[in-house]
Structure 1
Amino acid sequence: MLTAYTGLATAVCGGRAQALPPGYRFAQLEIQQAIGEGGFSIVYQAFDHQQQRFAAVKEYIPTTIAERNAEGVVVPRNPFLLPTFNAGRDYFCQEAKILGSLAHPGIPPLWDFWQANGSAYISTPLYGGTTLKKRYAQHPALVTETWLRRLLASLLPTVAAVHRQGCLHRDISWDNIQIAEHQWPILLDFGSACFWATGGARETNIVLKPGFSPVELYCNSGGYAHGPWSDIYAIGALLATLITGRLPPVSLTRSIEDRYQPLAQCGPAGYSQRFLRAIDAALEVHPADRPQDIAAFARLLAIDLHGQACVIT
């Protein structure tokens, strides 16, 4: 989308100070405020005056290596960083391509993608609610086996749909699951996703998240292939974290000395042994020892992938 736009952005180093100002326009799309940021992007709340709807706009701006100049253009902090900056923008474009290939109620649909200001932009629906991490911090007592099964009844079919399209998410965590009243849980942030079925797993950006990332995401050798089992490890780590309140040990450390205490041995009160053993299986260090696809993981959990998806509150 090549459109006229007005306004200037600040050129102050660091995080939100690099954000586009309220009122900045991409034709009919008006930036209202920055609502989130990561190492590679800033997310804005915007309003589409033509469609009369709110949108989330994600802008590529890796603030550790780039900044916004006085003209509002995102540029590397020095010329030597240009190849890294351009490669990151290519990965960002890949994220848009993956989102555009997916269609599921638990995945944000791609509304638009365009390049401007030396950067690139992705527009999706703006979801209410809060992340699973914040929901847990506010209401930890909500988490029971019944509640987790309701979560999984929606999350597992969503991840299975991603895999059926030949993609991997590779960044499933409680930061990237949005919980809103009377809605499916939404799986967010496909910045680390790849088309694994066509051999693209080694050629894309990966955000490593200690505790959630499996060992194969750390290793580019040693026979540790990426696959559905990689996302299954992250889901297992998510469940273990919600049950215990603690992140599992870093998988790379576990591959050297495994100090993970299996949930089935710890026996937290209120959880069935079958449920706990399934989570332990997902958290096996070696990929070949985990369930190899979502269907196999669902069988271990005794969850019907084709049953009624649940709204989480």
Structure 2
Amino acid sequence: MTAPRLLGGRYEVGELIGRGGMAEVHLGYDTRLSRPVAIKMLRSDLARDTSFLNRFRREAQSAAGLNHASIVAVYDSGEDKLVEAGGASVPVPYIVMEYVEGRTLREVLNERSPLDPAEAARITEGILDALAYSHRMGIVHRDIKPANVMVTPHGGIKVMDFGIARAVADANATMTQTQAVIGTAQYLSPEQAQGHHVDNRSDLYSTGCLLFELLTGRPPFQADSPVAIAYQHVGQPPPRPSSFNPEVGHALDAVVLHALNKDREARYQDATAFRADLQAARLGRPISDGARGTAVQGADATVALGAGVAAAAAAAARGAGGAIGSAGSAGATTVIPSDGAYETPAPVGDRSNTASLPAIGHDPDDEPRRRRGLAYVLLVMAVVGALVLLVLAGKGLLDRPPQGSAQVAVPSVVDLPVETAEAAVRAAGLVPEATQVASSKEVGHVVEQSPGADERVDRGSKVDLSVSAGPDTAEVPDLKGYSLDEAKTFLGNLGLGVGAVTKVDDSGIDEGKVVSTSPDPGSSVAVGSKVALNVSSGLVTVPDVVGKARNDAVDALGNAGLRAKTTYVPSTQPENTVLKQSVKAGSKVADGTTVSLTVAQPALPTPTTVTTTAAPPTTATRSPSPTTTTATPPGTPTATATTTAKP
């Protein structure tokens, strides 16, 4: 069997578990600390490139300074020497990282998507926790995407490749310029696409793209090439997640759209603010004014986009092909295509229509034909749109009550924020009256109205609005085996708090893990209630096993989480009886402590020595009278034969 490759005289290199454009990741083993690790090694063919080599070294140093529960830890780094076939020695740097059990978020999405909005929000909050810390430490990730996020079996979040993303080439869709990787296309910020300076807010845009995919099962922008996707990031407004997944609420829509603002000055300015809004949307609390404002602007932008299409169609009808011509110079931005060359997209005013962007490698002879075809399509769209508007306007005229009528139609305000609903009711000449009710719907939104929508009532009438105050009860989850931090997070997601934390012995649960809750799991409690946690102390009580049979004593110690060590001694007590134990019964010791047992075994038989002593020779006298010979019974220590003659 071939001995495993050893790095730094300490790390055994095992099987390949991951591969990127720049590095390979192996399962490793730290022989000094006896623990599994993950080892990232620069690809040998890139080790000859000084720029890659230096970048890899810098990123190893910067990432090693991060220490956060939601960031994959970097333990060590170093360099190995690779001897090529020609005998040349090439340095191959490596990074030793924390080995995380679980799956990448990409694997989770491949298995099931979209995710439940609450789960998507919780996962993104974990990512933002990691980003908030790294940004405070001065490190921008630059490549937030599902493949760089690990989900542990217990639902924990671990973000990988901090800083290293600047040097990792994604083989599928990565934008590069002279070998300088600046992000993955589907999650690229507008400033990255334009080759501008990247800062913390670029990570937040990428996180917004990731959250969009968690909620909808697809990224916000899709196209046939990375360059086309980059164009959309720069100039096309993002769709609302709820347009793909109706389960996404208005507040979550607003949070995502705010994170995807093209102008970095107008989006979230730090990860903490993003996380606060995301948590508020998940728990049904009010989100920030900035996010609400972006949502309104997003709706206006969509209307403006439709108007722009109609205008383009009208221009095409007049034969003005210039509406769909090539980009002008005013307001143009530079986008980095996949081949490293520079192209100039359309001006800001035309960015909403990516059809106006010149195709890469197009045939000039086909351009007039394409323009005419597109013009016809837009013309048809404009005509259809005009007809629809006429129909709607006619319906409005027919439905309008006679002049001087004292009755008005009640507007439909269910599912709208209460402020918007009240404004709509007042605009109709009615008086809103809001009442808070318990509901599973988004907090602050109308769940019911009376009178109903489109009912005709007297002007000035009252309209009752039932507004969600959120659910009034929650079910206590089963937290057995969770760490204290995990339990707090889980309860917080349900609107519950942590009450008294009590350490308990003899639990059979690892130290620091939850043993039980009060109330019990499954109990229904009011939102805002506190749940008491019993947490394992890691201590167990030593049972009294003296006098028990050895097997029974070992079983009793094992049931208590203890180990047994047996020593046998000769004794008159029954065989295999425990005579004494090394730790006093009733003592509190750490789980897994070894208790020595002294056990009886039968005494060995004592050897017996037999000695025979012969008497001195005697003279036998013959006599005519009879004689008697008396002999000592055999087996006595001294055997003496005596002959006595009778007189």
TM above 0.5, yes or no, is yes
Q: In the alignment, what sits opposite 1:24?
A: 5
Q: CA deviation at 1:218?
A: 2.7
For residues 255 and 50 of structure 1, do their structure 2 counterparts lie closer, same or farther at Cα, with a shift above 3 Å needed? closer
Q: In the alignment, what sits opposite 1:173?
A: 145
| Alignment check: 8 A CA contact 1:88 1:205 kept | no
Local SS of the residue matching 1:56: strand
Structure 2 length as normaliser, TM-score?
Answer: 0.38
For residues 212 and 255 of structure 1, do their structure 2 counterparts lie closer, same or farther at Cα, with a shift above 3 Å needed? closer
Q: In the alignment, what sits opposite 1:236?
A: 208
Please tell me the residue identity of whatever aligns with 1:146: A
Rounded to whole Å, the distance in 1 between the matches of 2:256 and 2:123 is: 14
Structure showing the higher helix proportion among its residues: 1
Please tell me the residue identity of whatever aligns with 1:130: R
Local SS of the residue matching 1:178: strand
Q: In the alignment, what sits opposite 2:231?
A: 253
Q: CA deviation at 1:193?
A: 5.5
Q: CA deviation at 1:288?
A: 1.8
Runs (5+) with no aligned partner, structure 1: 1-6, 8-21, 68-73, 77-84, 195-201
Deviations 1:166-189 (A, max 9, x none): 111111110000111125211011
Q: CA deviation at 1:301?
A: 2.2
Q: In the alignment, what sits opposite 1:210?
A: 185
Rounded to whole Å, the distance in 1 between the matches of 2:205 and 2:117 is: 18
Matched, 1:280 2:257: yes
Q: CA deviation at 1:97?
A: 1.4
Structure showing greater relative contact order (alpha-carbon pairs closer than 8 Å, 6 or more residues apart): 1
Local SS of the residue matching 2:211: helix
Please tell me the residue identity of whatever aligns with 2:72: P
Rounded to whole Å, the distance in 2 between the matches of 1:152 and 1:213 is: 17
Matched, 1:192 2:170: no
Among candidates 258, 267, 273, match of residue 296 of structure 1: 273
Local SS of the residue matching 2:78: strand
Matched, 1:53 2:28: no
Runs (5+) with no aligned partner, structure 2: 82-90, 168-176, 222-227, 284-484, 494-647
The worse-fitting range, judged by mean Cα deviation, of 239-248 and 251-260 is 251-260
Rounded to whole Å, the distance in 2 between the matches of 1:227 and 1:257 is: 20
Rounded to whole Å, the distance in 2 between the matches of 1:193 and 1:292 is: 21
Q: In the alignment, what sits opposite 1:13?
A: none
Rounded to whole Å, the distance in 2 between the matches of 1:96 and 1:207 is: 18
For residues 116 and 169 of structure 1, do their structure 2 counterparts lie closer, same or farther at Cα, with a shift above 3 Å needed? same
Structure 1 length as normaliser, TM-score?
Answer: 0.75
Rounded to whole Å, the distance in 2 between the matches of 1:158 and 1:309 is: 15
Q: In the alignment, what sits opposite 1:101?
A: 65
Please tell me the residue identity of whatever aligns with 1:136: L
Q: In the alignment, what sits opposite 1:39?
A: 21
Local SS of the residue matching 1:166: coil
Q: CA deviation at 1:277?
A: 0.8
For residues 299 and 126 of structure 1, do their structure 2 counterparts lie closer, same or farther at Cα, with a shift above 3 Å needed? closer
For residues 96 and 256 of structure 1, do their structure 2 counterparts lie closer, same or farther at Cα, with a shift above 3 Å needed? closer
For residues 259 and 279 of structure 1, do their structure 2 counterparts lie closer, same or farther at Cα, with a shift above 3 Å needed? closer
The percentage of aligned residue pairs carrying the same residue is 22
Q: CA deviation at 1:309?
A: 4.3
Structure showing the higher strand proportion among its residues: 2
| Alignment check: 8 A CA contact 1:154 1:310 kept | no
Rounded to whole Å, the distance in 2 between the matches of 1:120 and 1:164 is: 27
Rounded to whole Å, the distance in 2 between the matches of 1:103 and 1:24 is: 28
Please tell me the residue identity of whatever aligns with 1:150: R
Local SS of the residue matching 1:289: coil
Larger Rg computed on CA atoms:
2
Rounded to whole Å, the distance in 1 between the matches of 2:274 and 2:248 is: 17
Please tell me the residue identity of whatever aligns with 2:105: L
Please tell me the residue identity of whatever aligns with 1:174: P
1:139-150 matched pairs, under 5 angstroms: 139-140=112-113, 143-150=115-122
